[in-house]
A and B are shown apart, each in its own frame.
Chain A
Amino acid sequence: MRDMTLDMTIPDSATAPALLACQGLSFDAGGKRLIDDLTLAIRPGRRTLIMGPNGAGKSVLLRLLHGLIAPTTGAVLWQGGPLDRAARDAQAMVFQRPVMLRRSVLANLKFALTVRGVTGAARAAKAAEALELARLTDLARRPARVLSGGEQQRLALARALVGEPRLLFLDEPTSSLDPASTHAIEDLINAAHARGVSIVMVTHDLGQARRMGDDVIFLQNGTLAEDGPLQDVLAAPQAPSTKAWLEGRLYTAP
């Protein structure tokens, strides 16, 4: 029944039930509280942006939401259930620094398919399709680690998408790219979004946020400063730290 109701909800509706949620989420490391009591909901079919200054805990939050690290307190819920193996298989992530396997571009894609149990002709077809989509066909035989930064990001994105995730995490996927490469990545993300993939993306780029964002989560020092639909937050930021960030000022807690 639950799946039925999910399928029937309009993805863009602001009242859709959460795809991913966390309650009272905290994470400690090195004797410091890096994420402090976060309660959030990621809605299906939306592009949610996570913003905030360097060291705010954006990357740590993504790893918590993706189940790569275990929270100190609180829990992450996938469609109201636990974040188990099946839930993680429905998610994919592009890391802040792309991890390229020491093999060819094509072999990187094939590896991601193999671990999902896709083999043989189906694997070859999907890999070729992913190469085409990411405009990497000409580079298929090249060792992945000699690609340029932008090419590596495209490959990392293509590799994350071949598993056909329902939710895609992206950690500053365009932070070191030129405008053309940035647009190539944004197009790939938007194409995935148009196919029904929900997006959670960390970005520092306000222009990109305006182009890509439906919802936004502002983090400050591991705590939630503000969240909501992007347009509303940009039009009328409530939290002093969000205001400071939008005006390009360094925020220091009172």
Chain B
Amino acid sequence: MFSLTDILTEALGLILTWDRDLSEIVMLSLRVTLTAVVISCLIGLPLGAMVGAFRFPGRGVLTVLLNALMGLPPVVVGLVVYLMLSASGPLGVLQLLYTPTAMIIAQTILVTPIIAALTKQVVEDLHAEYREQFASLGVGAFDRIAALLWDARYSLLTVALAGFGRAVAEVGAVLIVGGNINHVTRVMTTTIALETSKGNLELALALGLLLLAIAVIVNALVMALRASAVRAAYA
């Protein structure tokens, strides 16, 4: 039998003493997810902006595809990346399976469509307002995309944070391609799943609390960004 208060006390102790195992797991989580979000933004922001601002053949299909990919089941992404990276797979020679890189790849595949689809929506709305002014000024295609991304910067930061929130809380894909190997590929979500099933509830709860705190911080950041954007009439 265990007492909830005891577990909670021990979990808080782990956090307050910044336990080595705990900090290693948290840091890997942040490294994997932040890297994936940065790569997703590098791909998703320009892609979403182009779909939002340009009319071209296949635009409708691309929009439907992005929206569909937004809801990709993480375990399916994990499985596909696993098949690609496994020893007999097409990318097996890279020997990336069960490494943080594999987890970054999986999360990037999950997050890029989210960033791209949300960016498309934001940029499309802004472009509707700017279109004739841009045409009048003679703004070229490249300048147009750059200006739309810059002027939508506050909304797009919240888009990136949404992608971060989704990736950091995701468990299925990173578990399959990372393998949850101690000191190598253990991140917060996979550790919580494993430690809970082993009955090691203090560590699981400590990580759960930290994950919750991250979610709260991300949302607070989103709200603070909105408020400062509104104040400068940049929203």
Contacts and interface: CB of A to CB of B under 8 A. Distances in A.
B233 A163 contact: no
A67 B132 CA distance: 10
A101 B153 CA distance: 12
The secondary structure that dominates the B interface is: helix
A105 interface: no
B233 A112 contact: no
Interface in B122-170: 129-130, 132-133, 135-140, 143, 147, 150-152
B234 interface: yes
Nearest to B152: A102
Given A103-B151, A115-B139, A115-B140, A143 B232 contact: yes
A29 B130 CA distance: 21
A99 B150 CA distance: 16
A99 B139 CA distance: 14
A68 interface: yes
Nearest to B153: A102
A146 B232 contact: yes
Contacts of A245: none
Best-buried of B137, B138, B147 by chain A (most CB within 10 Å): B137
A116 interface: yes
Interface string A94-121: 0100010111000000011011100000
Contacts of B232: 143, 145-146
Nearest to A116: B138
Interface stretch (A19-27, A31-39, A85-93, A122-130): A85-93
A66 interface: yes
A63 B138 contact: no
Shortest 10 CB-CB contacts between residues of A and residues of B: A145-B233, A99-B133, A102-B151, A102-B234, A93-B136, A143-B232, A146-B233, A115-B139, A143-B233, A89-B138
B132 A63 contact: yes
Best-buried of B132, B136, B143, B233 by chain A (most CB within 10 Å): B136
Nearest to A86: B138
A118 B92 CA distance: 51
Contacts of B152: 102
Contacts of A102: 151-152, 233-234
B208 to A, nearest CB: 39
A95 B12 CA distance: 60
B132 A68 contact: yes
- Size class of B's contact patch? 10 to 19
Given A68-B136, A116-B138, A101 B143 contact: no
Contacts of A114: 143
B132 A95 contact: yes
Nearest to A89: B138
Interface string A129-168: 0000000000000010110000000000001100100000
Contacts of B138: 85, 88-89, 115-116, 163
A203 B140 CA distance: 31
Nearest to A97: B129
A95 B132 CA distance: 9
B97 to A, nearest CB: 45
Nearest to A143: B232
Contacts of B129: 99
Given A102-B151, A146-B232, A115 B137 contact: yes
Contacts of A103: 150-151, 234
Interface in B81-140: 129-130, 132-133, 135-140
A138 to B, nearest CB: 18
A53 to B, nearest CB: 23
Contacts of A99: 129-130, 132-133
A117 B197 CA distance: 63
A114 B143 CA distance: 9
Interface string A61-78: 001001110000000000
B82 to A, nearest CB: 43
Given A99-B129, A103-B151, A111-B147, A68 B135 contact: yes
A171 to B, nearest CB: 11
